[in-house]
């Protein structure tokens, strides 16, 4: 019988999104069972612009960079989140990827909120008068 204490889970981790549906369901179950991964995933999902490292650290209430990095690295390796860098001096932020939105929707049972598509402004052209 395996003992599932925090050391064992930390040493093992989730690192690969499996290609088969059965493996995907198993991985989603493991993510759902992990309080830290779910808090990070849900917190990033609730944020419109994403979360920076300090914001994520505050959300997870760790007060330890190592303990914050562990769920972030797992979610990055699974492809659930992306790291977006602001080239104009703002903080870099973690944002949900499309796979992460689908995973969060599957786990929570709520519909995924897709990103609003950016469309160019539309101009109306008046019909010529005859």
Neighbours of 20 (CB within 10 A): 8
* Domain presence at residue 119: no
Is 5 within a domain? no
Residue 86: what pLDDT? 87
In a domain, 31, yes or no: yes
The domain in which residue 25 lies consists of 20-108
Please compute the mean of the pLDDT values over residues 63-71 and round it to a whole number. 82
Name every residue whose Cβ is closer than 8 Å to that of residue 104 and which is 6 or more positions away in sequence.
41, 42, 45, 80, 96, 112
> For residues 114 and 101, is the Cβ–Cβ distance under 8 A?
yes
Q: What's the pLDDT score for residue 63?
A: 73
Task: Evaluate whether 37 touches 75 at the Cβ level (below 8 Å).
Answer: yes
Q: Tell me, yes or no, whether 4 lies in a domain.
A: no
CA distance between the termini of the chain: 85
Provide the CATH number for the domain around residue 38: 1.10.10.10
Q: 24-65, pLDDT tens digit by residue?
A: 999 999 999 999 999 999 999 999 899 998 899 899 887 777
Asked if residue 57 is part of any domain, the answer here is: yes
Tens of pLDDT, residue by residue over 91-123, are: 899 999 999 999 999 998 876 555 554 455 555
Beta bridge partners of residue 10, listed in sequence order: none
Number of domains the chain contains:
1
The rounded distance, in Å, linking the Cα atoms of 33 and 15 is 16
Q: How does pLDDT run across 74-91, given as a tens digit for each residue? A: 999 999 999 999 888 888
């Amino acid at each position: 019988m395996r003992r599932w204490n925090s050391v064992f889970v930390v040493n093992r981790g989730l690192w690969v999104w499996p290609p088969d549906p059965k493996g995907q369901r198993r991985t989603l179950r493991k993510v759902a069972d992990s309080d830290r991964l779910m808090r990070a995933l849900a917190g990033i999902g609730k944020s419109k612009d994403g979360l920076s490292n300090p914001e994520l650290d505050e959300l997870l209430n760790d007060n330890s960079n190592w303990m914050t990095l562990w769920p972030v690295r797992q979610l990055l390796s699974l492809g659930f989140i992306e790291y977006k860098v602001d080239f104009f001096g703002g903080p870099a932020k973690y944002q949900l990827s499309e796979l992460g939105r689908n995973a969060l929707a599957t786990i929570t049972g709520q519909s995924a909120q897709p990103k609003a598509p950016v469309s160019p402004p539309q101009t109306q052209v008046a019909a010529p008068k005859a």
